[in-house]
Amino acid sequence: MDLTDTVTSIWGYYREKMGMVSKVVGPEIRKLQNRTEAETYAHMMASSEPWLTLRRNFDDSLKLICDPSREVYLAVFNGEIVGFIVLVMHGALVGYVQSIYVAEDWRSKGIGRQLMAFAEKRIFSKAPNVFICVSSFNKDAQKLYRRLGYRVVGQLKDYIIPRHSEILLRKTICSITEFKEKHDEVRRSLSCS
């Protein structure tokens, strides 16, 4: 068993422990591949909520998407981009979901849940916490994140726009120390010495 298999096994254990669905069915989720996809995603973001209220325009959206420090994944169904998710895997909040979007015609069909399950699998293979901010006016997203097991850890008042807060949420599988110890143990068990 190599490190990838071991991490997948650890992830499976935590998914079972948290009562998560074991198999995600739906669109293909893959990395952003080219500038055309980035521009499509930026248009989708800039023309829909919550980004309209947050005043994020096409250029701001494209800059975010093209930032090489971000991981951008698309949900694609029959060649159509039906959603996307942007992850930050470095810095103070390793495992931060910076943006998630589901096309209007695809909402309430499980795409957001599938994107979050994908993000959790990716993040929990490297860190014990997933963080996401949700705008105080985005009640539907707040409900989804609560159902997925996220808990409020703080509120940033007037952070992006006046009279609205960004609510910081967290989902965890263990402490950072426990996570590090488990991964160190796995690495030692795979060592050739």
Q: What is the pLDDT of residues 84-125, one digit of tens each?
A: 999 999 998 899 999 999 998 998 899 999 999 999 999 999
pLDDT of residue 12: 52
Query: Cβ atoms within 10 A of the Cβ of 192, count?
Result: 3
What pLDDT, in 10s, does the model give residues 6-53? 444 455 555 555 555 434 357 999 999 999 999 998 999 999 999 999
pLDDT of residue 161: 92
Q: What is the mean pLDDT of the chain?
A: 86
Q: Where are the alpha helices (DSSP H) in 47-97?
A: 58-66
pLDDT of residue 25: 54
Above 80 in pLDDT, residue 76? yes
Nearest to 134 by CA among 104, 109, 171, 108: 171
**Ordered structural domains, the chain, with CATH:** 3-190 (3.40.630.30)
Q: Which one is predicted more confidently, 148 or 184? A: 148
pLDDT of residue 1: 43
CA dist 115 and 120 (Å) reads 9
By the 8 A CB rule, do 42 and 63 touch?
A: no
Radius of gyration of the chain (CA): 17
Task: Indicate the pLDDT class of residue 134, thresholds 50, 70 and 90.
Answer: very high
